[in-house]
Amino acid sequence: MPLQEIAVPTVRTSPSPVPNLQPHPQPIQLFCTEGEPDAPVSFAKGFQGGMVLLPCEIHTLRVRQFYRRNFEQLSHWLSGLDRVRNFRDVDPRQVDAADAAIAACLKDAHARCADASQQANTLLEAGGLADIAIHYAAPATVAVPIIHPHARTCLEVLLAADGAFATIERLWLLGQIDTRERRSREAVLRQALRSVAGEVRQQYGAMARVVRGDRPRAPAPVRPLHTGDAGDPGPETVLPPETPHGE
C-alpha cells in the first residue's frame, strides 16, 4: 500500500505529556475501527520534536497486534538512538554503525515479507484464483505518527507483512495450501517482524550501556574491619534467644 504524507498542524509547547495539536482538541487517535475511535494513546509522551501522520489500513490480526504492542516503543528507541549523537563522550561512528545495522535489518525483513507475498501470489495465479479477493470485516484505520525515518521504514515493513499474511490466508481459504503449510509460511513473516524488534532493542541497549559506561557510578562505601584496637567497638555481641518463663 503506498504511503502518503498528510499535513500536520503546528505543534505548540504544552506541559501536558501529549502535545496540544491545533485545531484538533483531542489527543492523537492511533486506531479507528468502523468510525469508533479506540482509547487515545499518548504516543508523543516525552517527545518534543515534530512528527508526520501517515494514514493507512491494517487488515490482519497479527500485524495489528504487533503495531499495538511494539511500534510506539520502537519509535521512541529509534528517537533515543538519534539523540545519543548529542552526547559529548559518544563516538558518532558508534551511532552510525547502530543506524546502519537497523537499516539493514529493516531491508532484510521487507524483502522476506515481499518474497512470501510473491510466492503466495504465484500459487494463486497458477490455480486461476488471482482475481478472488479476501475481505475483512473491520480493518483498522491507522493514523501513524512518524518521529524517525526508520519508523517510516518499519511501517512499510508492517504493511508488507500485512499484505503477505492476507495473501497466505486467501491461499488457505481457497484450499490451495493446508493448515501446516499456512503456519509454516506465516512463521517466516513472524520471524521477520521479531527480527526488527530485536535489532532495534539490541542496538538501543548497546548504546545505553555505552552511555552508562561514560558515567561510572560512585563506589559503595567500605565498612572497616573490627580489629579489637582501642576505641574500636569490636565485634558485635550476638545475644542468645530469650527463654520463655517456666522453661
pLDDT at 79 over 60: yes
**Is 9 part of a structural domain of the chain?**
no
Over residues 51-60, the pLDDT tens digits come to: 899 999 999 9
- Quick one: pLDDT at residue 154? 97
CA dist 198 and 188 (Å) reads: 15
CA dist 203 and 209 (Å) reads: 10
Higher pLDDT, 120 or 34: 120
**Is 39 part of a structural domain of the chain?**
yes
**Is 20 part of a structural domain of the chain?**
no
- Quick one: pLDDT at residue 88? 82
pTM: 0.69
**Is 225 part of a structural domain of the chain?**
no
* Total number of domains in the chain: 1
**Is 100 part of a structural domain of the chain?**
yes
Other beta carbons within 10 Å of 166: 20
Burial, 114: exposed, middle or buried (Cβ in 10 Å; 0-12, 13-18, 19+)?
Answer: middle
**Is 143 part of a structural domain of the chain?**
yes
**Is 231 part of a structural domain of the chain?**
no
- Model confidence at 167, pLDDT cuts 50, 70, 90, reads very high
- Model confidence at 20, pLDDT cuts 50, 70, 90, reads very low
- CA 98, chain centre distance (Å): 16
Domain ranges, residue 99:
28-213
**Is 4 part of a structural domain of the chain?**
no
Q: How far is CA 2 from CA 56, 86, 122, 157, 189, in A?
A: 9, 34, 22, 12, 20
